[in-house]
């Protein structure tokens, strides 16, 4: 199920299991996962996109192998907060993915996540070639970490 309300997403998560964060691009899908306590995000992989069925099969294998209980999908809003074609593409991906899994899916505003990821990689003195290889998974890590921090804050409030 696609849950646009973060408290509903939090309520749908199984306890003691990790969450996956995705940075969906035209050519790649960056993948990050949380620890079991949902406090730290770790970038793990970049899936090179081809057809949806192949992309979904690779993604579902990761979700199964890591016993994931929910998916945070980066939503590429415009800088003014409006939706554009990339938002529609991301939502279509989520609608197709939800047909293949029972895991709850929610969205997280991903504005500037790639910029932050690139800055972090430059500060770490990562070569241009290596940055191109890992930028999407690092951006997925930023997306997931932002959502994890918000979920932790919400859990403390209750």
> How far, rounded to the nearest angstrom, does the alpha carbon of residue 2 sit from its chain's CA centroid?
14
> How far, rounded to the nearest angstrom, does the alpha carbon of residue 80 sit from its chain's CA centroid?
21
**What predicted TM-score, i.e. pTM, was given to this entire model?**
0.84
What pLDDT, in 10s, does the model give residues 82-129? 777 888 999 999 999 999 999 999 999 886 666 666 676 666 666 766
Q: Report the pLDDT value the prediction gives residue 82, as an integer from 0 to 100.
A: 76
Q: What structural domains and CATH numbers belong to the chain?
A: 6-157 (3.30.420.140)
For the chain, the farthest-separated pair of C-alpha atoms sits apart, in whole angstroms, at 45
Q: Report the pLDDT value the prediction gives residue 113, as an integer from 0 to 100.
A: 63
Tokens of 72: 């945070």
| 3-state SS, residue 77 | coil
d(CA 102, CA 60): 11
What pLDDT, in 10s, does the model give residues 123-154? 666 676 665 666 677 788 989 999 999 988 88
């Amino acid at each position: 199920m696609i849950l646009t309300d973060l408290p509903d997403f939090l309520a749908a998560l199984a306890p003691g299991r990790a969450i996956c964060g995705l940075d969906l691009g035209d050519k790649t899908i960056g993948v990050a996962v949380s620890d079991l306590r949902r406090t730290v995000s770790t970038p793990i992989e970049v899936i090179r996109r081809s057809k949806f069925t192949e992309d979904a099969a690779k993604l579902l294998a990761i979700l199964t192998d890591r016993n994931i209980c929910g998916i945070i999908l980066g939503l590429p809003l415009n800088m003014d907060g409006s939706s554009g074609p990339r938002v529609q593409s991301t939502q279509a991906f989520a609608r197709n993915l939800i047909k293949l899994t029972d895991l709850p899916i929610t969205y997280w505003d991903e504005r500037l996540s790639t910029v932050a990821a690139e800055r972090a990689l430059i500060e770490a003195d990562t070569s241009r070639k290596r940055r191109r290889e890992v930028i999407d998974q690092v951006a997925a890590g930023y997306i997931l970490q932002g959502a994890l921090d918000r979920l932790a804050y919400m859990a403390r409030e209750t």
